[in-house]
Amino acid sequence: MQTKGREFKDRIYQEFARIGKAISSPRRLELLDLLCQGPRTVEELSKQAGQSVANTSQHLQVLRSSRLVEAVKRGHFVTYSLADNNVLEFFRSLRTIAEDRLGGIERVRSNFLEERGVEAHKDSEKLMERVHAGEAILVDFRPLEEYLAGHIPGAISLPYEDFDTRIKDLPKDKGIIAYCRGSYCAAAIEAVRRLREQGFAAERLEDGVIEWKARGLNLAFGEN
């Protein structure tokens, strides 16, 4: 016969498991990663995640049912955001545990970087010292909406999709420090590769806004 204590524990762990089920999909994890950058509409998330609006909406509903994200409807559009900063910290912790425990993550990343001739690791503090000294400029290659929602102070916005039309705006007499959504964002990696091909002294900052906030540093908002 089941005791009250056993029933209590079963119910508690069933509730805990709801979070596990909600993040059991790689697609939903990517959506959480995107929302760590700032609120986005379903359509924007669909575009960035490379999946249909219908599938994106279904995944968001699962995340919402577990109270990981919230939704606000404005006119014909629904904007999603993380439920609170605890969700951002949860996602960051999950990523850190995976990096520590699963060797395959580093192998996949290292192979991707090596194929593009981009270094795997750089000292973030030294790179930022070059920016502060005026020796380099910091360029945010995320979409403009994410930049406006919060970016590393001093960064200029150059969405990767505008690379071809705006590369002429970058100075060749200074270094270029590129960043996007952190160490697993391909935009900054590809930007560094292409900048070097065109004669720029480009390097990659592995930090994104998640890492910046985790170190207790302030973000800038809106246009510089």
Task: Give the model confidence (pLDDT) of 7-31 as tens digits.
Answer: 999 999 999 999 999 999 999 999 9
Q: What is the CA radius of gyration of the chain?
A: 20
Q: Which of 130, 93, 107, 105 is nearest to 204 (CA)?
A: 130
Task: Give the model confidence (pLDDT) of 45-89 as tens digits.
Answer: 999 999 999 999 999 999 999 999 999 998 888 999 999 999 999
* Structural domains of the chain, ranges and CATH numbers in brackets: 4-87 (1.10.10.10), 112-214 (3.40.250.10)
The pTM of this model reads 0.88
Give bridge partners of residue 175 from the DSSP assignment. Answer: 136
Whether the CB-CB separation of 178 and 204 falls below 8 Å is answered with: yes
Active-site position among 36, 136, 180, 192: 180
36 noted as active-site residue = no
**Tokens 């102070």, residue located:** 153
pLDDT at 116 over 60: yes
Contacts of 103 (CB under 8 A, 6+ apart): none
pLDDT for 214: 84
Angstrom distance (rounded) from CA 35 to CA 18: 20
For residue 144 the two structure tokens come to 């403009």
Dihedral of CA atoms 87, 91, 94, 98 in degrees, nearest 10, equals: 170
